[in-house]
Amino acid sequence: MNFGISLAQRIYAIIGLSFCGLTGLAAIQASNLADALRGQRQSELRHLTQLALGIAQEEHDAAVGRGADGDAARRNAAARIGALRFGNGDYFWINDLSPTMVMHPIKPELDGKDLRDVRDPTGKQLFVEFAEIVKRRGEGFVDYQWPKPGLDTPQPKLSFVVGFQPWNWVIGTGLYVDDLQAQVWERVRSIITIAAAIVLCVGLVTLLLARRISKALVTMTGALNRLRVVIST
């Protein structure tokens, strides 16, 4: 039985391995891009939340300095934080460690509500997780799904929450990350398209050269066979 591999099969194998290698490189680049984009969003959220935290600290320190009513300071801080906007109308909310909503500028009907039963479509008790992260670490990121204006279904969202210990507050904000997946897939499609074009061009050139080499070998083999016949006679 002949287990030899023909020249054409070897060429096809090289082309296939080249395409697999370029596809693997595309996957690595896509993963690196996704990590970089997510890191950028995390840095942005952390910085923005520090601004809101500064407002709470400012109102608290002013109330302590004047010996004023802490409730008034809480109301002022919540109003100022609730008025903050960035990006495409993104906002901040405040809940406590119960968790109960203190202030939600987009859904004021949640103010004063127990949030333990609020879940995203995957069943995650997001406000419970917000509170637990603050209790354990003081701050942190949480992934979940939340309704997005203009869309019928909840979309992936990344939030950063930080605790304000004097008032047992959890101050948080978030950004939708559905666009990150779109950016990554767009880059993957571009890389795969370029890789396919490169492999196709290389494959065509290789096949043309292989055919010429094969013809030359056939011609040489025929000449040697004829020479053997002449010598044997």
Q: For residue 217, what pLDDT is reported? A: 67
Per-residue model confidence (pLDDT) at position 84: 96
pLDDT tens per residue, range 187-206: 777 777 777 777 778 777 77
Each residue of 76-93: pLDDT tens digit?
999 999 999 998 889 999
Measured from the Cβ of residue 205, the count of other Cβ atoms closer than 10 Å reads 10
- Output DSSP code: residue 86: B
86-111 per-residue burial string, b: 16 or more CB within 10 A, e: under 16: eeeebbbbbbbeebbbbbbbeeeebb
What is the per-residue pLDDT across 4-58, written as a single tens digit (0 to 9) for each?
A: 566 667 766 777 777 777 777 767 777 777 788 888 889 999 999 999 999 999 9
pTM: 0.70
What is the C-alpha to C-alpha distance for residues 60 and 71, in angstroms, rounded to an integer?
10
pLDDT for res 83: 97
Q: Is 94 helix (H, G, I), strand (E, B) or coil?
A: strand
